[in-house]
Amino acid sequence: MSNWERYIKNFVSFLKIEKGLAENSIFAYQNDVSKLYDFALGHRLDVDQLTYEHLKEFIADLYDLGLSARTQARIISGIKQFYGYLMLEDFVKDDPSELLEMPRLARKLPEVMSIEEIDSLIAAIDLSKTESHRNKAIIETLYSCGLRVSELVNLRFSDLFFEEGFIRVIGKGNKERLVPVSPTVEKEIGIYNDHVRRHQTIKPGNENVVFLNRRGAQLTRVMIFTIIKDLADAAGLKKSVSPHTFRHSFATHMIEGGANLRAVQEMLGHESITTTEIYTHLDQRFLRDAIISFHPRNMKD
């Protein structure tokens, strides 16, 4: 057994026993390192003979094969894990993968609804049904406040400060933030509370929860997805719509309307401004129209 085969076998055991990884993850790492093994065999190189330049050549080969940037990044990650293990066990003195850089991954722009599409979805709510007022309040809250679905289902009446114009949101990492609330949200939650919720038998422990199911218990994330999918179908919307679509639409429409990026970051509860910046790329037509309309060189005499 060559060093390569022995080291790969030991690496797999390490991932299984020490790291406790799932079988699928272990197989992926083994497959990634095997690709490097095949490359090294072609160049008659042992593990400790591979240099940073060799690894760059290997990555270039992956690119030439037409592998996506995401696949390349996964393979590089596997190689880095492999060499981390070899260094840990003192099988090699230097780590040639240390300086390898991950390929830039293109960020997938989130789906966004237009204001007209949101209006059509709300108009599709059948107000003759008992749950309709709740569903309308849910849609208005998601869109007007840019909430995550988990933040919506966990919303409490003790988090509503309508007189001050804010709601308190408990986000990721149990972090609190205050989000401005519109009069429309206040009105729709009030209608839902007066016409539906007050007349329900509420299960113990759910008295403070804003949005309840028919049995008087807290709504689940899955139920919110189902409500929105059904409304999108009723409105005849062709695009895929989820609770997160309203969050993306909220952020995009805020920025298009001239809101400060930092303010939107605070309202969304993003740790980094770079996460919020993705919304500045969603509608380049808006930016182009603004330049055409307001740049001095485009002004007509």
Told to judge if 134 belongs to the known catalytic residues of this protein, a careful annotator would answer no
Told to judge if 244 belongs to the known catalytic residues of this protein, a careful annotator would answer yes
- Contact in structure between 77 and 71 (CB atoms under 8 Å): no
Within 20-175, where are the H helices? 23-42, 52-64, 69-88, 115-123, 132-145, 149-153
- Contact in structure between 23 and 31 (CB atoms under 8 Å): no
Told to judge if 279 belongs to the known catalytic residues of this protein, a careful annotator would answer yes
* Closest of 181, 188, 186, 210 to residue 198, by C-alpha: 210
C-alpha to C-alpha distance for 125 and 145, rounded to whole angstroms: 20
Catalytic residue, chosen from 148, 197, 248, 253, is: 148
CB-CB neighbours of 248 under 10 Å: 20
Told to judge if 285 belongs to the known catalytic residues of this protein, a careful annotator would answer no
Catalytic residue, chosen from 172, 175, 215, 288, is: 172
Catalytic residue, chosen from 133, 134, 247, 253, is: 247
Told to judge if 198 belongs to the known catalytic residues of this protein, a careful annotator would answer no
Told to judge if 44 belongs to the known catalytic residues of this protein, a careful annotator would answer no
DSSP states of 64-87: HTT--HHHHHHHHHHHHHHHHHHH
- Contact in structure between 87 and 95 (CB atoms under 8 Å): yes
Catalytic residues: 148, 172, 244, 247, 270, 279
